[in-house]
Amino acid sequence: MWGVSKTYKPNRQVLHDINLSFFYGAKIGVLGLNGAGKSTLLRIIAGLDTDYQGTIEVQKGITFGYLPQEPELDPSKTVREIVEEGAAETVALLKAYEAVSARYAEPDADYDALMAEQARLQEEIDRLGAWDLDSRLEMAMDALRCPPAETPAGVLSGGERRRV
């Protein structure tokens, strides 16, 4: 590996002019701070990331194994949206309750049916203790030291992805 550099958009350089070589059979470890480019470097070495500058030459017969340490996250979603996926059933119940409540404003609403549906949803939400889901998710995110809730997943480092 000679002169390897990697820059993420808009202008975040994580690797700059890296030169590496390994002896046959070597076992390597990479240490560094979150966001320093460790995962990026290993993905480049394994051939999973080809969007870099520089040269990589692999001897014939050499193979690489790579086990990703971070989950694949939808880069278009925020940290909060991804965390909510872990409580998808509960989030769906709360949204259904809100939708039923909103239907009370419709002029031809069947109030008896709405009350029955609302009671059913409320019972399930009570059973799950889901009324305080937002504060519980915030506490969990704080305990895990997640990035700010509105941060797009596409800009997270490997270490930040694992915490989400």
What is the pLDDT at residue 76?
Answer: 94
State the residue for tokens 């769906």.
92
Residue 68 inside a domain? The answer is no
Question: Is there a domain that residue 65 lies in?
Answer: no
50 and 91, same domain (yes or no): no
**Residue 139 domain flag:** yes
Binning pLDDT at 50, 70 and 90, where does residue 72 land?
A: confident
| Domain-embedded: residue 60 | no
pLDDT of residue 157: 86
Tell me the one-letter amino acid at 29: G
Q: Is the link from the previous residue into 10 a cis peptide, with omega within 30 of 0?
A: yes
Determine, yes or no, domain membership for 70: no
Residues 83 and 10 both lie in one domain:
no
88-103 and 133-143 helices cross at what angle (nearest 10)? 150
Nearest to 21 by CA among 66, 65, 68, 55: 55
Is residue 48 domain-shared with residue 96, that is, in the same domain?
Answer: no
Mean pLDDT computed over 124-146: 91
| Residue 88 and residue 49 in one domain | no
Per-residue pLDDT averaged across 103-124, rounded? 95
**Domain count along the chain:** 2
Mean pLDDT of 77-83: 94
Asked if residue 26 is part of any domain, the answer here is yes
- Domain range enclosing 159: 79-163
The pLDDT of residue 7: 93
Instruction: Count Cβ atoms below 10 Å from residue 52 Cβ, excluding itself.
Output: 20
At 144, is the secondary structure helix, strand, or coil? coil
Confidence class for position 70, pLDDT limits 50, 70, 90? low
Residue 19 and residue 3 in contact, taking contact as beta carbons nearer than 8 Å: yes
Question: Between these two residues, 37 and 65, which has the higher pLDDT value?
Answer: 37
CA distance 68 to 71: 7
For residue 62, being part of any structural domain is answered with no
* Residue 64 resides in a domain: no
- Tell me which residue of 20, 21, 18, 24 sits closest to 3, measured CA to CA: 18
